[in-house]
C-alpha cells in the first residue's frame, strides 16, 4: 500500500502572531516556521502503518517556495520515503494558495502517484480553513474520514474513529480513501539525528503548478486582518440578581 501525506509549512505554533501595520496580513519577517502540527500527526500515523507492515511507501507533498523543502526533509526524517515540492512564489498563508487550489493540486498528484490512502491534517493553523481534505475527497470521488482519533486497517478496509458532539463515531471506509487527522490520533515523534542525515539523501522531486494544470490565481481577497480585542479583567457580583442584570444590560447575552 502506498500512502500520500500532504504537509504545510506554517508559522510555528509557539510564535505570537503579529499583524502588519497596514492590516494587509501577517508579518512573517524573521518568524520561525515549522510543519503544521496536524500534518505532523498525519506523517506519524503513516509511519506507524509502515512500521506495522501495512504500508510499503510514504510519499510526502507540499506546496511553497524552496524554503518549504525543510518540512519535506523533516517528514522524510520521521518516516517518509520521498518528497514532492510543488514550487510557487505565491504566499501559502492567509490570502495565498486557497484550499480548492490545494485540493486540485493534490488530485493531479494522486492521479500520477496512484496512492491507496491519503492521510492529512484536518486543517492548518494559519488559516484554519478545514476544507482541503473534504474538497479533495469530493474531487476524487473517494470516501472520507474526517477528524480521525483512531485508525485501523482490517481486511482491505479502514476503520476510522472520529469524535462527534455525541461521543465517538466509527466509519468503515473502502480503499482508496482520504483521512484527516485530529489531535488525539497520536503523539508525533521527534526526528533523530541519524534519520535527519538519512533524509538529506532521499529523493525530492520539484515541479510547478502548471505541470499539474493548476492555477493559483486567488478567487478571494482579504480586505483586512486585525488582532482580536484584548480581554478585560473579570469582576465579582454580590448576588444572582446582579449577575442576571449584568448579563442582560451590559453583556447583552440574555
Q: Do 186 and 41 form a contact (C-beta atoms < 8 A)?
A: yes
Give the Å distances, CA to CA, from 105 to 84, 85, 87, 173, 208: 12, 11, 11, 23, 10
Q: Where does residue 241 rank: exposed (0-12), middle (13-18), buried (19+ CB within 10 A)?
A: exposed
Tell whether 254 is covered by a domain.
Answer: no
Q: Answer yes or no: is 198 within a domain.
A: yes
CB atoms within 10 A of CB 160: 24
* Model pLDDT for residues 17-53, shown as the tens digit of each residue: 888 889 888 888 888 989 999 999 999 999 999 999 9
Does 179 fall in a domain? yes
Q: Is 83 part of a structural domain of the chain? A: yes
244's enclosing H/E stretch is helix 240-249
- The CA dihedral of 248, 250, 253, 254, to the nearest 10 degrees, is 0
What stretches of the chain adopt beta strand conformation (E)?
2-6, 9-11, 33-35, 57-64, 82-87, 117-121, 144-154, 157-164, 167-174, 177-181, 204-207
CATH number of the CATH domain containing 203: 3.40.50.620
Q: How many residues does the chain have?
A: 254
DSSP 230: P
Cα separation of 110 and 178, whole Å? 11
Q: What is the mean pLDDT of residues 62-69?
A: 93
pLDDT value at residue 63: 95
pLDDT at 183 over 70: yes
Over residues 141-177, the pLDDT tens digits come to 999 999 999 999 988 899 999 988 888 999 999 999 9
Note the pTM of the prediction, 2 decimals: 0.85
Domain count for the chain, please give it: 1
Containing structural domain, residue 33: 2-249
pLDDT at res. 30:
85
Amino acid at each position: 500500500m502506498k500512502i500520500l501525506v500532504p504537509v504545510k509549512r506554517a508559522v510555528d505554533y509557539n510564535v505570537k502572531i503579529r499583524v502588519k501595520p497596514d492590516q494587509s496580513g501577517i508579518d512573517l519577517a524573521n518568524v520561525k516556521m515549522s510543519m503544521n502540527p496536524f500534518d505532523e500527526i498525519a506523517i506519524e500515523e503513516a509511519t506507524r502503518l509502515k512500521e506495522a507492515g501495512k504500508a510499503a511507501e510514504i510519499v510526502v507533498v507540499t506546496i511553497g517556495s524552496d524554503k518549504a523543502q525543510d518540512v519535506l526533509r523533516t517528514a522524510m526524517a520521521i518516516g517518509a520515503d520521498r518528497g514532492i515540492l510543488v514550487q510557487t512564489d505565491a504566499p501559502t498563508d492567509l490570502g495565498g494558495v486557497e484550499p480548492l487550489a490545494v485540493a486540485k493540486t493534490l488530485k493531479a498528484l494522486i492521479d500520477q502517484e496512484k496512492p491507496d490512502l491519503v492521510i492529512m491534517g484536518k486543517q492548518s493553523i494559519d488559516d484554519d480553513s478545514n476544507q482541503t481534505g473534504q474538497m479533495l475527497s469530493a474531487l476524487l470521488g473517494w470516501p472520507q474520514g474526517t477528524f480521525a482519533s483512531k485508525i485501523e486497517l482490517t481486511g482491505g478496509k479502514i476503520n476510522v474513529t472520529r469524535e462527534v458532539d455525541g461521543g465517538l463515531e466509527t466509519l468503515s471506509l473502502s480503499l482508496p480513501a482520504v483521512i484527516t487527522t485530529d489531535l488525539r490520533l497520536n503523539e508525533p515523534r521527534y526526528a533523530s539525528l541519524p534519520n535527519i542525515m538519512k533524509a538529506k539523501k532521499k529523493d525530492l522531486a520539484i515541479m510547478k503548478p502548471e505541470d499539474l494544470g493548476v492555477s493559483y490565481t486567488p478567487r478571494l481577497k482579504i480586505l483586512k486582518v486585525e488582532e482580536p480585542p484584548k480581554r478585560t479583567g473579570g469582576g465579582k457580583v454580590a448576588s444572582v440578581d446582579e449577575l442576571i442584570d449584568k448579563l442582560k444590560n451590559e453583556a447583552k447575552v440574555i
